Amino acid sequence: MRRMMRLADGPSMRGAGDHALSIPRAGDVWARPGMSVTFRAELMPGRSTPERTFRVARVLGSLRVLVEGIAGEHTATEFDLRK
């Protein structure tokens, strides 16, 4: 099994794993300030969707966000990203 990491405008790097990873380029963001995000049900069991939905307060440079009403930094993997 191999993992491919593609650097922005650069060569590919292969490693262990079975799926492709890509490093986001400038401008590629998964959240914006004021955007509503919903935590995955596994992280907040027993709560309804509205109870798991919060607003992004700030997007950090490390591809993490600060969420209003919840302490700490959070990543895209913690949320249901529905289109």
Please check whether residues 36 and 70 belong to one and the same domain.
yes
Q: For the whole prediction, is pTM greater than 0.85? A: no
38 plus 66 within the same structural domain: yes
Q: What is the pLDDT of residues 2-22, one digit of tens each?
A: 444 344 444 444 444 444 445
**Do residue 48 and residue 76 come from a single domain?**
yes
The domain total for the chain is 2
Instruction: Please indicate, yes or no, whether residues 21 and 35 belong to a single structural domain of this protein.
Output: no
Helix (H, G, I), strand (E, B) or coil at 42: coil
Contact present, 2 and 14 (Cβ < 8 Å): yes
pLDDT in tens, 58-81: 999 888 999 999 999 999 999 997
Residue 7 belongs to what domain range?
1-25
Give the position of tokens 């949320």.
79
Whether residues 83 and 46 share a domain: the answer is yes
Shared domain for 39 and 20, answered yes or no, is: no
Residues 56, 82, single domain; the answer is: yes
